[in-house]
């Protein structure tokens, strides 16, 4: 009974490096959502993707951040030239269709990014 799988669980990057976070949705799910939790904060929506399409990226920082969900393989959240302020937990959720009314999101265990 595989849920949403995220890897790596922990990622350490030096300032200026690139970070790639992967999310494999639950089997049969073609909709993926990325959220970020900064220290001492609640989760904040970043981006919603379907296979090969970005549906809503209104929560993504305008620079250095990008996301994709290719036809084959996991969804990737990419952060270029990381800065210390990018240190956070990044969570992914998935659904079979666009979320039905009253249907809660189910999250993976997250990737904890630390920028040194």
Partner 1 sequence: DQQVKQNSPSLSVQEGRISILNCDYTNSMFDYFLWYKKYPAEGPTFLISISSIKDKNEDGRFTVFLNKSAKHLSLHIVPSQPGDSAVYFCAAVQDSGGSNYKLTFGKGTLLTVNP
**Residues interacting with partner 1, by CB under 8 A?**
4, 9, 31, 33, 35, 40-45, 48, 56, 58-59, 91, 93, 95, 98-99, 101-110, 112
Distances from the Cα of 67 to the Cαs of 19, 46, 116, in angstroms?
12, 10, 23
Shortest Å, Cβ 32 to partner 1? 10
Cα gap 49→30, rounded to integer Å: 8
Pick 82 or 93: Cβ nearer partner 1:
93
In the sheet where 19-24 sits, what is the strand order? 5-7, 19-24, 75-79, 65-68
Nearest to partner 1 of 109, 114 (CB atom) = 109
Dihedral sign computed on CA atoms, order 7, 9, 13, 15 = positive
User: Nearest approach, Cβ of 33 to partner 1 (angstroms)?
Assistant: 5
Report the residue number, 12 or 18, with the smaller CB distance to partner 1: 12
Q: How far is the CB of 30 from partner 1 (least distance, A)?
A: 13
């Amino acid at each position: 009974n595989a849920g949403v799988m995220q890897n790596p669980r922990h990622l350490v990057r030096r300032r200026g490096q690139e970070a790639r976070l992967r999310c494999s949705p639950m089997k049969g799910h073609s909709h993926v959502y990325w959220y970020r939790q900064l220290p001492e904060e609640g989760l904040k929506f970043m981006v919603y993707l379907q296979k090969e399409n970005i549906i809503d990226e209104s929560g993504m920082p305008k620079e250095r951040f990008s996301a994709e969900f290719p036809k084959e393989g996991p969804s990737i959240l990419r952060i270029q030239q990381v800065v210390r302020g990018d240190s956070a937990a990044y969570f992914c959720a998935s659904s079979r269709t666009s979320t039905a009314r009253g249907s809660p999101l189910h999250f993976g265990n997250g990737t904890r990014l630390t920028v040194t």
